[in-house]
Amino acid sequence: MELDNRTLLVVVTFSTAVQTAALFYVWRMQLRERSVALLTLGFALVAVGTGFVASRPLLPPILTVVAGNVFVIAGQAVTSLAICEFAGRRLSVYFPASLAAFTAIAFGFFTFAVPDIGVRIFLASLLTPASFFPALRALLAAPSGPLRRTYWPVAGILLFHVIVSFGRGFGLLIGGPVAELFAGSVVTSIWFLESFAAVNLLSLGLILMISQRLQLELDRQASYDGLTGTLNRRAFERLAEGEWSRAVRHDQPLSVLVLDLDRFKSLNDTHGHDAGDIWLKSFAELCRGLLRREDLLCRYGGEEFIALLPQTSLEQAMQAAERIRRSVEGMRISHNGTDIAVTVSIGVATWNETVTDLKTMIAAADRALYRAKAAGRNRVESSEAG
């Protein structure tokens, strides 16, 4: 059975319009994120463009040929811009504007000055890969992590669409002169069918990308302190229990630091809570820089922090605590023209035969912290010293 290419293109137009509505709904639900808005705009432009192309010869060529292809290429480039922004790679807004301008000039020339539908089809077959190349590059270059589970399938859909686009251009070039876009060409039918599949699969993949990132953000908010970016207490206790079990199972050292900024209430009373917040964020950043990647850092409450150090002996933990203490002692934070200094007291404990669980070890470090406070603050004390 011979497929009607005009009907296929109308179906592509309708499907793209439906996916535009779906993306618009996602945009409304996703707190109006810019990248999702750009995706919606990109799909909308493609829907308008394919609608114009499908309207020939009912509308004049300036709309069905020139404007139609400009909208399609611009829409694809805007979609590429949105994917790049979503993936954290910068792409200038001049990219879709430049492609649209080139398309308008080229299609205007080969429509009115030197009419040649074969050249126009070949150009469109090259401009589609060009418009999606930045998005492909951004998705394939994404760092390893959970987002790759959706990034790479979307990249696969785009890559297949690009390959089919190249095939369409060279297939029609080899097949000889083309008289009319909707002529009963197998190559054109395949292109329209693949475009229909690509629009739907791409939209689904993009929505999954958006949903996954939202879920990761919700997980992050549920696990991390909003001010300092450190683990919150619930997440720390969950992860710390895993480290405790591993240390006991493999008979490996495990140490904990309990850190408390000295006279922090006085700082808040004197300089205001904004200054206190700056100090808390700076202190957390300093600790992250001095601790290892595998160490767990948590804001345990107020100005108190806790750090769990896997495979770390008491002596090594004392050295790490002393590095933090000295760094804090030498740090100054400028607020409203005033340099503010703070010190930290630290209690250290490690797993041994008298420590039966994680809570006992933390309690031992907490008692060591109180001894450091009682001894004058700005000190590191070990649980074994008492």
pLDDT of residue 31: 61
Residues 208, 254 within the same domain? no
Q: How confident is the model at residue 163 (pLDDT cuts 50, 70, 90)?
A: very high
Residue with tokens 């490690």: 350
pLDDT tens digit string along 170-184? 877 776 666 677 775
Residue 264 has pLDDT above 80, yes or no: yes
Burial (Cβ within 10 Å: 0-12, 13-18, ≥19) of residue 102? middle
Per residue in 279-319, pLDDT (tens digit) is: 999 999 999 999 999 999 999 989 999 999 999 999 999 99
Measured between alpha carbons, how far is 320 from 315 in angstroms, rounded to an integer? 9
Residue at 357 is within a domain: yes
| Residue 130 CB-half CA count within 13 A | 16
| pLDDT for position 1 | 45
Give the mean pLDDT of 161-174: 85
First-residue to last-residue Cα distance in the chain = 89
Distance, in Å, from the CA atom of 363 to the CA atom of 369, rounded to the nearest integer, reads 10
pLDDT value at residue 365 = 95
Model confidence band, residue 194 (pLDDT cutoffs 50, 70, 90): very high
Residues 294 and 330 in one domain: yes
- At residue 184, the pLDDT reads 59
Could you tell me if residue 158 is inside a domain? yes
Q: φ, ψ for residue 329 (rounded to 5)?
A: -60, -35
Task: Determine, yes or no, domain membership for 152.
Answer: yes
Average pLDDT over residues 356-374: 94
Share of the chain above pLDDT 70, in %: 96
Split into its structural domains, the chain has a count of 2
Same domain, 92 and 151: yes
183, 199, 222 - which closes a domain? 222
Averaged pLDDT for residues 2-27: 90
- The answer to whether residue 228 sits within a structural domain is no
How far apart are the C-alpha atoms of 351 and 12, rounded to whole Å?
A: 65
Q: Which residues span the domain enclosing 39?
A: 5-222
Mean pLDDT of 183-195: 83
Angle at 197 between CA 192 and CA 199, to 5 degrees: 90
| Residues 164-168, mean pLDDT to the nearest whole number | 90
